[in-house]
Amino acid sequence: LFNHLRRKGKAYQPRGSKYAGRGYIKNRISIDERPKIVEKKARIGDWEIDLVIGKGHSGALVTVVERKTKFTVSKRINDKTAETVTAATISLLKPFKDLVFTITADNGKEFAYHERIAKALGAKVYFADPYGSWPRGLNENTNGLLRQYWPKLTDFKKVSQGEVSAVISQLNNRPRKTLDYETPAKIMAEHMALLRA
């Protein structure tokens, strides 16, 4: 049933090539320049960002997932302008600033102000190759889980941030096989505590 729910609807398509022409992003840094350690998931602090778009582009969720722990943060937004997405991203990750080393995004123009994000968080922002494929298993899986709660025809302007936070809390407190049945929330909390010690 879970697999049926998660895969219902159109097959997932990587956004890289499809959205390649959506807008020029000044001073973008290619994923090819991203440190190799990020791909190995050998540390906590490397994040992937994406948008879950609402019906008729009416509202969206900014969703950021930490690669090693699968810890997720998300904010509901009314529009997907670069200004709005930038502010949401900074507010989501500021509490974890000491554990934000890299952020990887696709080439959507909503990420045009990546330099502001990088400066505010002391991190590097990398972009996928617009004409190549980028393995997005983590984002795809997370967005698939969110779509169980909010199908593709959802109008996110009618969804409260409280509802979003409640769902994200459920995901973060769900034991994961890839984490030896620990939860993303527990692992992230332990690492945050170590940083503050």
According to the model, what pLDDT value does residue 48 have? Answer: 95
Report the share of the chain in percent with pLDDT over 70.
Answer: 85
Over residues 78-124, the pLDDT tens digits come to 999 999 999 999 999 999 999 999 999 999 999 999 999 999 999 99
Structural element, H or E, at residue 66:
strand 60-66
Query: Which comes out higher in pLDDT, residue 146 or 55?
Result: 146
Question: Rounded to an integer, what distance in angstroms lies between the CA atom of residue 84 and that of residue 187?
Answer: 30
Instruction: Kindly indicate the confidence band of residue 8, based on its pLDDT and cuts at 50, 70 and 90.
Output: very low
What pTM, to 2 d.p., does this model score? 0.85
First to last CA, the chain: 43
CA distances from 40 to 30, 35, 45, 49, 140 (A): 18, 10, 12, 18, 18
Own/partner pairs, 135-139, CB within 8 angstroms, 24+ separation = 136/14, 136/15, 136/48, 136/50, 138/48, 138/65, 138/67, 138/70, 139/48, 139/50, 139/63, 139/65
For residues 76, 108, 94, 35, the Cα torsion angle rounded to the nearest 10 degrees is: 140
Evaluate whether the domain defined by 2-196 bears CATH number 3.30.420.10. Answer: yes
What count of Cα atoms within 13 Å lies in the side-chain half-sphere of residue 197? 7
The yes-or-no verdict on residue 17 having pLDDT over 50 is no
Which 3 state secondary structure label does DSSP give 118? helix
Question: Rounded to an integer, what distance in angstroms lies between the CA atom of residue 62 and that of residue 138?
Answer: 15
Question: Rounded to an integer, what distance in angstroms lies between the CA atom of residue 108 and that of residue 186?
Answer: 32
The yes-or-no verdict on residue 57 having pLDDT over 60 is yes
Token code pair at residue 51: 């948008």
Domain boundaries, the chain: 2-196
The yes-or-no verdict on residue 6 having pLDDT over 80 is no
Phi, psi of 20 (to 5 degrees): -60, -30
Query: Which comes out higher in pLDDT, residue 131 or 181?
Result: 181
The yes-or-no verdict on residue 136 having pLDDT over 90 is no
